Amino acid sequence: MSDIQTQFVKNVLADAASAPKPTGSAFAPSNIALAKYWGKRAAALNLPINSSLSISLGALGTRTEIRVRGSVEATSSSLDRGSDVPVAPDDVYLNGVLQAPETSFARRVSSFLDLFRPLFAGRGFEVRTENNIPTAAGLASSASGFAALVMALDDLAGWGLDKKRLSMLARLGSGSAARSVYDGFVQWNAGENPDGTDSFAERVDAVWPDFRVGVLELSAAEKPVGSRDGMNRTVETSALYESWPAQARRDIETIRTAIENRDFSALGAAAENNALAMHATMMSAWPPLIYLQPESIEMIHQVQRVRAEGLEVYLTIDAGPNLKLLFLAENEAAVAAAFPELQLIKPFG
């Protein structure tokens, strides 16, 4: 927890009221970026180098319940006490299993809660998180996880924050969590201000009922290198990264226009190119970051093969081995036949 983060939280909550409840709960959908975020301009506040645009995964995501030990009124003025507030331990459960405090999952949750702990007199929390997607396997579980945690905290404290402020707070836990406070198409604006006040997500005003996402889960294993460390390594060592921000800007404009015009071919091609370009920057880092597994490569070839045969389906991949396929409702049966293990998602119901 840095002074920069503490001041940021204080500013976001400056005019927040408080109507605390015994328990807070929330659900946040996972999201898949069609135009990826990769690289930070300021690490402490998780400010991205480039804007990004995603589609939510409907009912796939995270449900979190949180309660504080004892009854405490949560007000932003408590943040003025800062580091003199004693830190109590947390009980962090993942899918019903109590996590040891030294696990990476429990550490990340508790470290994030430290930003808000002065508001609750330094007390410990009990956090129960249920993921219906693999954790740390490249399916954006941290995005839905931190978004759900922030929204559950808001529910617990009764702050009544709007989506913009929830997005900014979720961003501190995981950059892509900024997008998971919404559903549908979402754009996370990179912003320019050093204080991070113009870096937040907002929903794209577009509904595309025939838009489909298919998840090909090839591995549920935890990634050997987390996205945060992988991103830093790429920015610092990849010779190919220099061209990434310009491509990212072009791709997000192409995809926004494609959404407005319902031009699926343009959207799919831009999203696939964007994802593979991001992985190219990772592979050129040192030591190389190769999140793709042999099965991932095989499925990439399969997607491109069936598309060459006339089935319009495209792919995208986050920092992990699992593929997400993009297609329209009219091709749903054909895509399912070509990829029998596909998990179908209808983002717009």
3-state secondary structure 11-53: HHCCCCCCCCCCCEEEEEEEEEEEECCCCEEECCCCEECCCEE
- Is the pLDDT at 94 greater than 90? The verdict is yes
- Domain 3-203, CATH class in plain words: alpha beta
What residues does 343 pair with on adjacent strands?
A: 215
The position carrying tokens 């991103």 is 231
Cβ neighbors of 21 (< 8 A, separation 6 or more) are: 155, 156, 158
Q: Are 339 and 216 in contact (CB under 8 A)?
A: yes
- pLDDT, residue 349, reads 83
- pLDDT, residue 136, reads 46
Q: Decide if domain 211-345 falls under CATH 3.30.70.890.
A: yes
The position carrying tokens 């399912």 is 336
Instruction: Between 5 and 77, name the one with better pLDDT.
Output: 5
- pLDDT, residue 220, reads 77
Question: What's the Cα-to-Cα distance from 88 to each of 51, 70, 85, 111, 170, rounded to whole Å?
Answer: 37, 12, 9, 12, 22
Structure tokens, 13 = 């909550």
Cis peptide before 287 (omega within 30 of 0): yes
The C-alpha angle with vertex 198 and arms to 12 and 160, in degrees rounded to 5, equals 35
- pLDDT, residue 71, reads 54
> Average pLDDT in the 292-321 region?
96
pLDDT, tens digit, 9 for 90 and up, residues 152-206 = 999 999 999 999 999 999 999 999 999 999 999 999 999 999 999 999 999 999 9
| Separation between Cα atoms, residue 295 and residue 309, nearest integer Å | 21
Reported as a pLDDT band with limits 50, 70 and 90, residue 137 is very low
What are the start and end residues of each CATH 3.30.230.10 domain in the chain? 3-203
* pTM of the full structure: 0.91
- pLDDT, residue 70, reads 63
Question: Among 144, 27, 149, 161, which Cα is nearest to 93's?
Answer: 149
Three-state secondary structure call for residue 1: coil
Reported as a pLDDT band with limits 50, 70 and 90, residue 116 is very high
- pLDDT, residue 310, reads 98
> Average pLDDT in the 58-87 region?
70
Instruction: Between 348 and 83, name the one with better pLDDT.
Output: 348
Sort residue 295 into left (φ over 0), alpha (ψ -120 to 50) or beta.
alpha
- Is the pLDDT at 297 greater than 90? The verdict is yes
> Average pLDDT in the 256-284 region?
98
Task: Express as a percent the part of the chain with pLDDT over 70.
Answer: 92
Q: Are 90 and 106 in contact (CB under 8 A)?
A: yes
Reported as a pLDDT band with limits 50, 70 and 90, residue 88 is low
pLDDT, tens digit, 9 for 90 and up, residues 206-265 = 999 999 999 998 887 878 888 889 999 999 999 999 999 999 999 999 999 999 999 999
Residue 194 CB: number of other CB atoms within 10 A?
11
| Separation between Cα atoms, residue 192 and residue 175, nearest integer Å | 15
- pLDDT, residue 36, reads 97
pLDDT, tens digit, 9 for 90 and up, residues 21-70 = 999 999 999 999 999 999 999 999 999 999 999 999 988 899 999 999 76
What are the start and end residues of each CATH 3.30.70.890 domain in the chain? 211-345
> Average pLDDT in the 109-134 region?
93
Q: What is the DSSP letter of 291?
A: -
Question: Among 129, 191, 143, which Cα is nearest to 33's?
Answer: 143
Pairing of strands 97-98, 91-94: antiparallel
